[in-house]
Amino acid sequence: MFTHNMKLAEIVQSDYNTLNVINRFGIKLGFGEKTVSTVCAHYGINAGFFLEILNAYHDPNYFPQKHLQSFSVGEIVEYLRKTHRSYIDEEIPFIEQLMNQMLKDCNNPQEIRPILKFFGDYKTELFNHLTWEDDKIFPYTLDVEEAFTTGNKLQEVIVAMHSYSMSDFLDEHDDIESKLYDINTLFIKYVPPVSNQVVCVRMLKEFSLLQKDINNHARIEEKVLAPKVIEMEKVLIQKQ
Ligand SMILES: [Fe+2]
Ligand SMILES: [Fe+2]
């Protein structure tokens, strides 16, 4: 388990995948001998929240949802939004670059096109999902928190809650990570011999990293954000 007094460099060395999380918090590389506390103080980051996310990311069995729920909806949503941006601006474009490279190196590009089409469709679905959360779900959760803590927007939130509550979100929140798993399987099984296998292996690694990341992201939405908002909704409904 990662703690406040550990050096950030040691955390990265013990799990290089934590670099994704570190990057999303806006922390630049070159932290030298600095501990988590020192780095977080330097960047004005809540070290407790940062550590919870790092630990949840590093170990699927470490998921203290109760503890994570002690952070504000604002903090949780800010991190989730940053994660969306990293999928849209960095991770998916990088996979596409590798795919284009693979396509160039492939002896018979036609053989590979169906899988690329499958990935293209997945990307559209993923981006629609992220936009739906950014534009509809996250603003609603922030309004619920505001109504809960200050009483502002109470009527507005109650009306919104009747047409679409956080429980509806949980019912509808689809399984975008299992589709990524399917694409990964398709690639492993059916990618034809390519002249540059290095690129292909690299892409498969990126796929599994993204799959793990999206899985973790969805867990925070379903096991931390949604239950926290549902608890607030229950209180608000009594006030109407
Ligand atoms: Fe999301
Ligand atoms: Fe989601």
The answer to whether residue 88 is domain-embedded is yes
Crossing angle for the helix pair 176-190 and 109-132, nearest 10 degrees?
A: 170
Identify whether residues 221 and 142 lie together within a single domain: yes
What pLDDT, in 10s, does the model give residues 25-76?
A: 999 999 999 999 999 999 999 999 999 889 888 887 776 666 777 889 999 9
C-alpha–C-alpha distance, residues 144 and 163, integer Å: 14
Structural domain of 34: 8-62
pLDDT of residue 194: 63
- Report the alpha-carbon angle 38-40-43, nearest 5: 110
Q: Which ligand is nearest to the CA of 173?
A: 2
Do 108 and 181 belong to one domain?
yes
pLDDT digits (tens, 9 = 90+) for 182-206: 888 888 888 777 667 888 889 889 9
Decide if 53 is inside a domain: yes
Tell me the C-alpha distance between 218 and 222, whole Å: 6
| Ligand located closest to 79 CA | 1
110 Cα to the center of ligand 1, angstroms: 33
State in Å: Cα 173 to ligand 2 middle.
6
Do both 129 and 218 map to the same domain?
A: yes
**Which residues, by Cβ under 5 Å, contact ligand 2, an ion?**
221
- For residues 52 and 9, the answer to whether their CB atoms sit within 8 Å is no
C-alpha span between 223 and 170 (Å, rounded): 10
Phi and psi, residue 168, nearest 5°: -60, -40
Please state the domain count of the chain: 2
Q: What confidence tier does 174 reach under pLDDT thresholds 50, 70, 90?
A: confident
**DSSP assignment, residue 58?**
H
How far, in Å, from the CA of 193 to the mean position of ligand 2? 35
Give me ligand 1 centre to Cα 131, in Å: 9
Whether residues 75 and 185 share a domain: the answer is: yes
Among 19, 35, 62, the domain boundary falls at 62
Same domain, 116 and 45: no
CA 85, distance to chain mean position in Å, is 9
Residue 2 within a domain:
no
Q: Of 40, 62, 84, which closes a domain?
A: 62
What is the structure's pLDDT at 123? Answer: 94
156-163 mean pLDDT = 93
* Each residue's pLDDT tens digit, 107-148: 777 878 888 888 999 999 999 999 999 999 999 999 999 999
Note whether residue 90 is domain-resident: yes
